[in-house]
Amino acid sequence: MGFITINGKKVEFTDEKNVLTIIRKAGIDIPTLCYHSELSTFGACRLCTVEDDRGKLFASCSEEPRDGMVIYTNTDRLRKYRKLIVELLLAAHCRDCTTCVKSGECVLQNLAHRMNVYKVRFENHKEVMPVDYSSPSIIRDPNKCILCGNCVRVCSELQGIGVLGFANRGTDAVVTPGFDKKLSETDCVSCGQCRVFCPTGVLTIRTNMDEVWAALADKDTRVVAQIAPSVRVAAGDAFGLPKGTNAMGKIVAALHRMGFDEVYDTSYSADLTIMEESAEFLDRVANGGKLPLLTSCCPAWVKFVDTQFPEFKENVSTCRSPQGMFSAVIKEYYRDPAHAEGKKTVVVSIMPCTAKKMEANRPNSYTKGEKDTDIVITTTELIRMIKNFGIAFDKIEPEACDMPFGIGSGGGVIFGVTGGVTEAVLRRLAEGHDTATLEAIANCGIRGEEGIKEAVVPYNGIDVKICVASGLANARKVLEQVKSGEKEYHLIEVMACRRGCIMGGGQPIPAGPRSKAARAKGLYDADGSMVIRKPNENPLMDVFYNGYFKGKAHELLHNHE
């Protein structure tokens, strides 16, 4: 423990790794473009530079705290220094702020405003580079790059893939995929985490909002929405609701106002996933099938296995994701002329995830030659549509989902946070449904912030060994250990994003470090307040397996290649 004096005030520190963290802890908003607490320190932008009592300038992100240090964060000299940095960055930056998707949320734009840079004194002589539209999920516009390196570090350090890197030197330096490839030609898994960490508008979500408006405007089209679990605890961020607020009822109401004919909760098909995946798991255990079983809901993870660990392909569950299952079920229902009433059906999936756009376009996301999910929009696009429609989201009264598919269990809702799929499987397999049983499952080791979690759960005479990982760099570690024989598991759940879909690449960019915890709590609270907590106790499961869809589970709920 020690003290440093910041702007004349003594501040205590303990194990903070750099001066910048202590400055922020003291409630001072020091600017940076390249620092992120979850990534290695790069020290490139120099905006977090501070001045000490002897007039020395240093970047606070790369300086270890020392007891007795005296620093100033906002002297006249520092203001001029930072303003010049921003001016120089803008000099080499494209100037289409009015139409840039990032406008209003761009860190560089905000800094220019804050520092009163109202005119860029220098001409931009940089050659205009082509924009990469090749990915179904992410658009990459290198003309807006400020070389902060965040995307490079996220993709290699958190996701363990390393699609992006630096090339060339000096004023020719750029961030690009290797050999100047397009994103679609690389091992990019469409997770969108580079977009979350990009401070400007280089990496943005490929949007599909106009297709949704077109479907809504067509009177001969039935537009059906499904809303993923984690959308409900992030959408409110954009409308001033407290972090992690469960806004599901408001989202449903907003979609009804916009003209959606039916609105559903993806938790319904998450319950179907649990029914199918637990059956597949028990079958593999009983009949010597490939183990460990790897979950298949997260498309970025599935692509990661395909490209990085093809030897584990057969371990991946054959279950479609909840998105895929729900869309296939809706489409099948309305293929029946008795239900269709002469209308065409368009399924819009509202997801926290950019990779779901890629999943919807995979060859195995078609049934009977028809695309299951027609359009995927992210939470961020949903927010823009709600704003565009002029809905006062904070005031709109909540509404319930529609029928015949409008019931999901709490087990389905917690899919949105890492460990949720496993927890729901364990609920399915447990005999009881009393609070003590559910609490014992919740406390078996699969909840919490760690990137890799393990649990051993006794079931039918065997000790079921489970691993839950989030972040693909962690998933790589786990698969390497399984490969080398160092670890042995029966079930491995992976979500590509840190803490799962709540931090998906299509979510609003979290404001502050508490967002992750607040979103997770929002989902666990939503689960806790539900009458039906176990997927197998959702009354619509029986309706599915013994009613209209009897005998169709295999065709609709599984991948067939």
Q: How far is CA 408 from CA 43, 70, 265, 340, 462, in A?
A: 47, 57, 7, 24, 30
Residue in 152, 188, 233, 350 binding ligand SF4, rule: CB under 6 A: 188
Q: Restricting to residues 405-424, name those near ligand HC1 by CB under 6 A.
A: 415-416
Return the structure tokens found at 410.
């709490």
CB of 355 to ligand SF4, least distance (A): 8
Q: Is 484 exposed, middle or buried (0-12, 13-18, 19+ CB in 10 A)?
A: exposed
Q: Restricting to residues 257-276, name those near ligand HC1 by CB under 6 A.
A: 266, 270
CB of 62 to ligand HC1, least distance (A): 35
Tell me, what amino acid is at 259?
Answer: G
Gyration radius of the chain over CA positions: 25
Residue in 158, 297, 316, 472 binding ligand HC1, rule: CB under 6 A: 297
CA 177, 183, 186, 190 dihedral sign is positive
Cβ proximity to ligand SF4: between 401 and 502 the closer is: 502
Residue 270 partner contact from ligand HC1, ligand SF4, none using kind-dependent CB cut-offs of 5 to 8 Å: ligand HC1
Q: Does 148 help bind ligand SF4 (rule: CB under 6 A)?
A: no
CA 469, 472, 474, 479 dihedral sign is positive
Binding residues for ligand SF4, total number by CB under 6 A: 14
Give CA–CA dist 34/199, Å, rounded.
Answer: 8
Q: x/- binding map, residues 19-58, to ligand HC1, per CB under 6 A?
A: ----------------------------------------
Q: Does 136 help bind ligand HC1 (rule: CB under 6 A)?
A: no
Q: Does 499 help bind ligand HC1 (rule: CB under 6 A)?
A: no
Q: Does 154 help bind ligand SF4 (rule: CB under 6 A)?
A: yes
**Exposure b/e, 344-363, CB count within 10 A at least 16 = b:** ebbbbbbbbbbbbbbbbebe
Place of tokens 């990496």: 203
Give CA–CA dist 4/20, Å, rounded.
Answer: 12
Cβ proximity to ligand HC1: between 94 and 228 the closer is: 228
Cβ proximity to ligand SF4: between 124 and 207 the closer is: 207
Residue 138 partner contact from ligand HC1, ligand SF4, none using kind-dependent CB cut-offs of 5 to 8 Å: ligand SF4
Q: Does 193 help bind ligand SF4 (rule: CB under 6 A)?
A: yes
Compute the residue count for the chain: 561
Give CA–CA dist 506/283, Å, rounded.
Answer: 35
Return the structure tokens found at 451.
């990137």
Of 79-87, 467-475, 496-504, 511-519, the segment contacting ligand HC1 by CB under 6 A is 496-504
Binding residues for ligand HC1, rule: CB under 6 A, are 228-230, 266, 270, 297-298, 321-323, 351-353, 356, 415-416, 495, 500-501, 504
Binding residues for ligand SF4, rule: CB under 6 A, are 138, 154-155, 159, 161, 163-164, 188-194
